[in-house]
């Protein structure tokens, strides 16, 4: 289940999300390469961890840690996808300039998309209970937390 959830996210983020984005600022090539390398390394690390090293006791899918983590992952992903939808539709075609997003979790936090992704990966870490998934959640917190702070300012 954990591996399927991780693969679903990668499928969404790598294939579906880019197709939904309208025109915007181009991504610098160096940033693209760093993101690609991180995703390849992290994908390998998570996949290898879950399929080779992680062992779970019988009944793990009914364990409160797994259920809580899975719900955190699911809610975080829903917040992330909905926030991305709000951000994609902030401006009308051809319109430029900064706009403050409204609706969804943006009513409670200025970086709802970042919040959703952080929640998603801490839920994943709890559901998996591996050091690799915790390392990914912490990396997400530090990287997106700093971006969220910058966006809030």
For tokens 């998996």, name the residue: 128
Q: Which two tokens stand for residue 14?
A: 């790598």
Q: How many domains does the chain contain in total? A: 1
Q: Which domain covers residue 42, as residue numbers?
A: 3-152
**Lowest mean pLDDT, pick from 25-29, 32-36, 70-74, 127-131:** 25-29
Cβ atoms 54, 128 nearer than 8 A? yes
d(CA 82, CA 148): 17
Handedness of CA 38, 39, 44, 45 (dihedral sign): positive
Q: Which two tokens stand for residue 34?
A: 């760093």
pLDDT > 80? residue 93: no
pLDDT > 90? residue 18: no
For 55, counting Cβ atoms within 10 Å of its Cβ (0-12 exposed, 13-18 middle, 19+ buried), the class is exposed
Which band of pLDDT confidence, cut at 50, 70 and 90, is reported for residue 26?
confident
Q: Is pTM beyond 0.75 here?
A: yes
How many CA atoms does the CB half-sphere of 93 hold within 13 Å?
Answer: 1
pLDDT > 70? residue 152: yes
Supply the mean pLDDT for the chain. Answer: 88
CA dihedral 65, 70, 76, 82 (to 10 degrees): -160
The residue among 110 and 15 whose pLDDT is bigger is 110
């Amino acid at each position: 289940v954990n591996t399927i959830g991780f693969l679903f996210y990668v499928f969404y983020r790598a294939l579906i999300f880019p197709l939904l984005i309208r025109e915007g600022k181009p991504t610098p090539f160096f940033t693209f390469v760093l993101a690609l390398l991180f995703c390849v390394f992290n994908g390998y690390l998570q996949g290898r961890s879950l399929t080779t090293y992680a062992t779970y006791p019988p009944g793990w899918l009914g364990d409160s840690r797994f259920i809580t983590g899975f719900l955190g992952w699911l809610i975080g992903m829903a917040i992330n996808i909905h926030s991305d939808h709000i951000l994609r539709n902030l401006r009308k075609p051809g319109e430029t300039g900064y706009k403050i997003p409204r609706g969804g979790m943006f009513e409670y936090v200025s970086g709802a998309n970042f919040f959703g992704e952080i929640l998603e990966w801490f839920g994943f870490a709890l559901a998996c209970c591996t050091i690799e998934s915790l390392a990914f959640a912490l990396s997400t917190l530090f990287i997106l937390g700093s971006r969220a702070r910058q966006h809030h300012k």
